[in-house]
Structure 1
Amino acid sequence: MGKRSLEQRLNEGTVVAAEGYLFEMERRGYLQAGSFVPEVALEHPEVLKQVYRDYMNAGSDVVLAFTYNAHREKMRIIGKEHLHEPLNRNAIRLAKEVAKEHPVEEALVAGNISNTNIFDPEDADSAEEVRSIFAEMAAWCKEEGVDFINGETFYYHEEAVIALEEIQKQGLPAVVTLGLMGENIMRDGYTVEQSCNILSEKGALVVGMNCFRGPDTMQPYLKGIRNEVEGHVGGLPIPYRTTEEHPTFFNLPDGGCSCSLPTETTFPTSLDPLYHNRYELAEWAKEAKDIGIHYIGLCCGASPAMIRAIAEAIGYETINSKYSPDMEKHFLFGKDETLKDHNLNYSKKA
């Protein structure tokens, strides 16, 4: 099969887009929580390729180059600004290598630009600095031959607009998703519905939301965006149980924790007990598809098993679906007639 574009795939059905590399790399021991800079693209390229592969085999149609936080400002903070360009280029090249491994249809490769944490709507100089950051990263994406660029986790509408403009200057399709913090409004005063509508009208192929919020506190806004926007809408929540009282993962409490934490909140390294299970995430994915969200994925905290669950929930058979749970032959809970009765009987007491 020839490689279809993102737009073709969206027009024909639902696209699964796995994010979440940041937390997955930290969990595997190859990224420092706090600075959260993806040095792994240079220091351990074989590890990054395997993570790309794991998410693609779990059902992601997109191999997203791991350049989240790989912008000039973050590299300056860790004292490695001189590695800025090689890190970005290598992350994309590794993604392209893995995308070609897909046995059915070559996966899409997305470049990645993200919130800079320096944008200030009251400071025109900050806007120009952000534009410069996005311009160089988007240019590298173009030169390295990505299929589209994913601009993500913007909590300022105007920063998202700058990202879109710089992507469009490179002649590439744009996916632009917003991170909504606890005020339930963009930090420069736009609602997410207003912001997404503007971004879509300006030419973004996909608009929507990612990160910060779990399915329960993102879904109402996705419905609002879907009602306001004519184009394609994306939703990529975190897999944590956020609530109306605590709508983001930044301040999620863990009432069962028996020790003092090194951080003031469970974010970012003590969120483990607060996960949704894969079946809850699968139910969310089905609901999202039913309301017209056709660019579906998960963000920080996602595992390949979770990605596989949402892909299968919307009707996909993934490369690794052969490893999906099947309890038929489990020694305690199986139904296979060759299993031992004394174990099956014991399962009622186990």
Structure 2
Amino acid sequence: MKRSLEQRLQDGPVICGEGYLFELERRGYLQAGSFVPEVALDNPEALKQTYRDYMNAGSDVVLAFTYNAHREKMRIIGKEDYLEPLNRQAIRLAKEVAKENEEEEALVAGNISNTNVFDSDDQASKDLVRNMFDEMVGWCKEEGVDFINGETFYYYEEALIALEVIQSHGLPAVITFGLMGENVLRDGYSVEEGARLLQEQGALVVGMNCFRGPQTMQPYVEKIRQHTDGYVAALPVPYRTTEEHPTFFNLPDGGCSCHLPTETTFPTSLDPLYTNRYELAAWAKEAKESGVNYFGLCCGASPSMLREVAETVGRVAPNSKYSPNMEKHFLFGTDDTLKSHNQEYRSKA
């Protein structure tokens, strides 16, 4: 039988592949800016292959790509009629791919996220958010997901509403915060206090995702670990955020010689600001030692990056057979049968 999320967490680290938003934009199947996952309906095979690539890179979870597939986003693009079909299709495709995992069927997670309509001072907005979550989680329940991933919340109270709705449908919850540059949630809670309260309310996993790279997320993950007793999640973006620029929203690129069509490098000019896979491996090692249980990467991550994280925390991915091995490289290899004149030339290559 397929183990539950809690059973897998009890047995060791769990890997969750995220980052579909940027990856599918990079592959040409999603529009940057609106960032709505219409790909589930427009190009289902492209979405299935992306699910598959992240699963084969080591993800224990096929996360249904319904990030931003909520009523507010669909209203903005004028496609509210697509809302339910899109959500159900994304989950069904995830379930198909999850069954392909030869070692053990992958978990399938439903996904809800920040709505961008929540207002701490407006009860009507809170009611609207609750209704938006309720319909999405209801579809997840009917489609048979294993748990719900509620992510990228920058208000504690919005995250709490998400948790309450998930629990009302009887599903386990992973809840993660997106921490903006102010270093506190927008309703004044520290991220560690918010995580502690959510765990006390019954969230199975609490933590952080998106916005911040490893260097500016890890200190707050450690605070969450210190203030909670349960399972902790960390899913940074793979960019070199700094103390001066703690999120990827305002990262400068001092080496850019062209005119950017946007005010910032976010979202389509971040390429020179990537961390490399070995920096991600160093972070994953640090995160594991600090007590993180649920690992992943968020916007910008590629399958090869996720595989590096998975292998660093002790996992062997289906595609680990394709992990780097320079032994046979014509310039830098060590194989005795390589041509010596090539290796002698490598310093001039």
**Do they superpose with TM above 0.5?**
yes
Residue 137 of structure 1 is matched in structure 2 by: 136
Is the partner of 2:297 in helix, strand or coil? Answer: coil
Q: Secondary structure at the match of 1:17?
A: strand
Q: Residue 286 of structure 1: CA displacement?
A: 1.0
Match of 2:23, SS?
helix
1:113-149 CA-partner distances (Å, limit 9, x unpaired): 0000000001110000000000000000000000000
Match of 1:347 in 2: 346
Deviation at 1:266, TM superposition (A): 0.2
Match of residue 112 from structure 1: 111
Specify the alignment match of 1:25 in structure 2.
24
Q: Distance in 1 between matches of 2:11 and 2:99?
A: 21
Q: Which residue of structure 2 aligns with residue 93 of structure 1? A: 92
Does residue 200 of structure 2 align to residue 201 of structure 1? yes
Backbone CA RMSD of aligned residues: 0.4
CA distances 1:223-273 after superposition (whole Å, capped 9, x unpaired): 000000011000000000000000000000000000110000000000000
Which residue is equivalent to 1:327? Answer: 326
Amino acid at match of 2:113: S
Alignment match, 2:174: 175
For 1:7 and 1:259, locate their aligned partners in 2 and report how far apart those are by CA, in whole Å. 49
Partners in 1 of 2:334 and 2:347 — Cα distance?
A: 14
Q: What runs of 5+ residues in structure 2 fail to find an aligned partner?
A: none
- Show the counterpart of 1:163: 162
Alpha-carbon distance in structure 1 between the residues aligned to 2:219 and 2:18 = 21
2 CA distance for matches of 1:59 and 1:347?
34
Identity rate of aligned residues, in percent? 75
Q: What is the DSSP-based 3-state SS (H/G/I as helix, E as strand, rest coil) of the residue aligned with 1:109?
A: strand
Question: What is the number of equivalent residue pairs in this alignment?
Answer: 349
Q: Aligned to 1:176, what secondary structure does the other structure show? A: strand
Per-residue CA deviations over 1:282-311 (Å, capped at 9, x if unaligned) read: 111111111110100000000000000000
The separation in 2 between residues aligned to 1:147 and 1:288, in whole angstroms, is 25
SS state at 1:3 partner:
coil
Give the superposition deviation at 1:18: 0.9
User: Where do 4+ consecutive residues of structure 1 move more than 2 Å?
Assistant: none
Please tell me the residue identity of whatever aligns with 1:8.
Q
**Alignment partners' CA distance in 1, 2:280 and 2:200:** 30
Q: Structure 1: which 5+ runs fail to align?
A: none
Per-residue Cα deviation, 1:151-193 (whole angstroms, up to 9, x for no partner): 0000000000000000001100000000000000000000001
Equivalent position of 1:52 in the other structure: 51
1:273 aligned to 2:272? yes
SS, match of residue 315 in structure 1: coil
- Normalised to the residue count of structure 1, the TM-score between the two structures is 0.99
Deviation at 1:315, TM superposition (A): 1.0
Deviation at 1:349, TM superposition (A): 1.7
